[in-house]
Amino acid sequence: MKRLIVGLLFVIPTATVASAGMLDVNLVVNGDAETDDTSGWTSNTGLETTSAAAAGSAGLPVGTSIGSYSFTGALGGNPESMAQSIDVSALAGRVDSGEITSHFSILLQSRSADTADAELRFLNAVGGIIQSAPFQDPPTASTWQLFTDTRLAPVGTRAIEIELTGTRSGGVSTDAFFDNVTLTLTPEPATLVLLSVGAVGFLRRRRPSRT
């Protein structure tokens, strides 16, 4: 009986070890601009970083900090954008079984009729969009707004892409701000319960009879 328990405890964790590091952690690289650059983001057409003092704190949810820096628009083309694609193919089997939930959040701020937009995209193996969710802080809001999205990762998802876009209505600079971008994947609670029940049932079925 002792050998059976040890073997079971060994097999269950190793079955998910390849993807375990992707669960319950923020998968966005440099989502808070605290490196004071746009490292981790690609296809950048002009977004940069600015001080937290320039971005301000108006509208921040209680207990929320934007640290020392935020992302913002600049003097480049219009619109200005950058993106980050997160490879989740290691979770393919669990995604396609409906076991993975996506949790996304971002702070956006629009000023002077310019707009701060973000889009969350679930991509298939060849980069096609399966589902998407747009977010936009209303122009002239001039305060931080928190946007969130929670959904079951759609079947076929192999990457999740986040794009930030600042659009200028006039003038020479884009007054759009972005901060605290997070994406966390969690296992469905029902899946964990079924796994536990199954393991207990397996142990009971294999319990040797006593004489």
How far is residue 171's CA from residue 168's CA, in Å, rounded to a whole number?
7
- Report the predicted TM-score, pTM, of the whole model to 2 decimal places: 0.83
Which residues in the chain show pLDDT less than 50? Answer: 2-15, 193, 195, 197-200, 202-203
State how far the Cα of 33 lies from the Cα of 12, in Å rounded to an integer: 38
Query: What is the reported pLDDT for 180?
Result: 98
Domains defined for the chain, CATH in brackets: 20-187 (2.60.120.260)
pLDDT of residue 10: 38
Residue 207's pLDDT is 56
Question: Where does residue 63 fall: left (phi above 0), alpha (psi -120 to 50 degrees), or beta otherwise?
Answer: left
The per-residue pLDDT for 171 is 85
Q: Quote the pLDDT of residue 17.
A: 53
